[in-house]
Amino acid sequence: MFDVQFANIEYLYLLILIPVLALGVLLYMRRRRKALERIGNLKTLKGLCPESSTARPIIRAALALVAMALLIIAVARPRVGSKLAETTSEGNEIMILLDISNSMRATDMYPSRLESTKNAISNLIRKLSSDRVGLIIFAGSAFVQVPMTTDLKATDIFIQSVSCDMISEQGTALGAAMNLAIKSFNFDDNLSKAIILVTDGENHEPEPDPIQIAKMCQQKGVIVHTIGVGDVRGAPIPVKEGSKDFIKDRSGEIVITKLDELSLQKIAEAGGGIYVKASNSNSGFPTVYNEISKMKKGEIVQYAEYDEKFVVPAVLSLILFVAACFVLKRKNRWIRKSGIFEQSDSNL
């Protein structure tokens, strides 16, 4: 049994258009038939126009719709079977640590700290085309959202799906996230390694100490860069995305979340990296990318596990489109004499 996958599976949603278009064709044919019935008897009209055909437009539309469906499948890039191919490239290992605590809902960055950061990470990933990239999300606890991978397209999809609701345990465990990042690296290869810590810096979990973890990272050859998200003056935290209600403390006062630049500067210094403050005009990621691009690159072995089969539906689609072009609205004399469509026309 073949293992079928699609490289661009999101394009398959376009197949919804096929039955919609088919319904549109049927409604058009029905409307046309009723218009002819108002003019006169269909058999009489058919006798007056012997070269007209009711079957041919339907056949042409059917061929075009099937061709369109096959074209959509081709664009989705079906991959069938198992065909192992080894390729090599030069790159590094980068683990992105993304804060998804409630404070990342604050709107002192547009449209929010988290959404602005997600877009910036997506832009960074497009530049890291030859690197291994992973993603750890954290709040009061941390877990690996995307293990180290060269499939950056899949990584980007996972990043865009991240929300502050993914971890119920609130807080900002910077040390725990960094500790988990160290365990995610493969120290048996020759790749340079870096951590990009993206947070507002409000650390609510003193143990493990993020500065001590950053020092340990540097000892292991892992550079730690930090990006501060938010405003040092602070901002209220919406109860949920887009809400005008804000989180309050036990005394009923609105909670204000502030960027802790000093802590992030100390972590970056201990980890041998740099600290950058993000803003609406500068996400900070281009500066960090410039630092990462200076790192010595190692050899990354990649494996293509599937045999691309998009050519098959693409060729069939082209054949059907061409065939549809040759199906004329009217019968020509040679085909009318052969009677190929007579049976079909008589049933319509």
Instruction: Spell out the domain ranges in the chain.
Output: 4-81+308-346, 86-303
CA distance 157 to 179: 25
Q: Is the pLDDT of residue 305 over 80?
A: no
The residue type found at 28 is Y
Helix then strand then coil, in percent of the chain rounded to 5, is 45, 20, 35
Q: Is the pLDDT of residue 39 over 60?
A: yes
Cα separation values, 250 from 254, 255, 257, Å = 10, 10, 16
Once rounded to an integer, what is the mean pLDDT over residues 66-70?
Answer: 93
Supply the pLDDT for residue 347: 43
CA distance 27 to 175: 64
Most confident of 20-29, 219-228, 329-338: 219-228
Least confident interval from 13-27, 28-42, 166-180, 317-331: 28-42
| Helix, strand or coil, per DSSP, at residue 162 | coil
Most confident of 73-82, 170-179, 258-267: 258-267
Q: Which of 25, 129, 57, 133 is nearest to 87 (CA)?
A: 129
- Residue with the larger pLDDT of the pair 242 and 285: 285
| Helix, strand or coil, per DSSP, at residue 219 | helix
Please tell me the CATH code under which domain 86-303 is placed. 3.40.50.410
Average of per-residue pLDDT values in the chain: 83
Cα separation values, 103 from 2, 106, 111, Å = 47, 6, 14
Cα separation values, 47 from 43, 94, 152, Å = 6, 76, 64
The residue type found at 6 is F
CB 140 within 8 A of CB 302: no
Structure tokens at 6: 């699609």
Peptide bond into 111 cis (omega under 30): yes
